A = this chain, B = another copy of it.
Amino acid sequence: MREPAADTSQRLLDAAEGLFADRGYDGVSIRDIAAAAGVNVAAINYHFGGKERLYQVILERVMTAKRDRYLAALRAPRKASDEGLEDLLRAFFRTHFDDTLKSERGASFIKLLVRELHEGSRERRQIIQEQLAPLWTEFGQALREVVPGLDEAAAAWVAGSLHGQLVHFTMRWHRAPAPLAGGDQPHLVQALFPPLAEDVDRYIEQAVAHIVRFAAAGIRAVAGGRPAKEPS
């Protein structure tokens, strides 16, 4: 009955990634992981030196993969048009929403990611930001190519504005179809700012359409417009 089976550490990584994505670091015990991987609890310490270390290895593995997907989308040639900005935004946003809403694994992982970004230890945030930084840097450059008046500082603020919106609209969808426990009153459960939903694809369409129009105008204003007046 001895399986050939991928080696233990690989099985641990795969099993743990799914569990961590679904339930978060604290929501998963090493006994859960060991059981899911079909190995002994002690194997986690043997191969990775502890739960935290295993988690960080997974975090890094997932982040580099994510970064590569996004960079590929950024670098894909876009047809030249007089709406270069809109096209760039659309390509980027669509990649993000597809990645975080349509893929099962990606959907689970984005929640974990947002949490780590907001309140993870410095070590964990470091891992995430090392992957995110080049991604947003490259996006900022693409942005500046396509809207000439945008200086570097402004591009950084714009990146912040975009990131904030992406996170919000992603999490808004994830919050919406919460599994109804028995005896619940679904009409009481009101997600934040109900941009309505129907199915994922329509939601993504709406979100992308809104955010492209909103952000394109915002970016052009930040790039070219006169500074907003301060109150007297």
* A124 close to chain B: CB less than 8 A: no
Closest beta carbon of chain B to A52's beta carbon, Å: 15
Closest beta carbon of chain B to A171's beta carbon, Å: 6
**CB–CB A153/B228 < 8 A:** no
CB-CB under 8 A from A165, the residues of chain B are 160-161, 164-165
CB-CB under 8 A from A216, the residues of chain B are 221, 228
* A28 close to chain B: CB less than 8 A: no
For A189, A221, A227, which residue has the most chain B Cβ atoms within 10 angstroms?
A221
**CB–CB A167/B167 < 8 A:** yes
Decide: A227 near B209, CB < 8 A? Known: A119-B24, A129-B192, A160-B172: yes
CB-CB under 8 A from A24, the residues of chain B are 119
Interface size on A, residues (CB 8 A): 70
Binds B, one of A40-48, A57-65, A68-76, A82-90: A82-90
Binds B, one of A7-15, A97-105, A193-201: A193-201
* A2 close to chain B: CB less than 8 A: no
* A31 close to chain B: CB less than 8 A: no
**CB–CB B153/A161 < 8 A:** no
Residue interface mask A183-216, B partner, CB < 8 A = 1: 0100011111111100000000010011111111
**CB–CB B86/A129 < 8 A:** no
CB-CB under 8 A from A193, the residues of chain B are 136, 156-157, 159-160, 163
Docked CA distance A224–B114 (Å):
33
Those 10 A-B pairs whose CB atoms lie nearest each other, nearest first = A164-B168, A217-B221, A214-B218, A164-B164, A218-B218, A164-B165, A159-B193, A213-B228, A157-B210, A217-B217
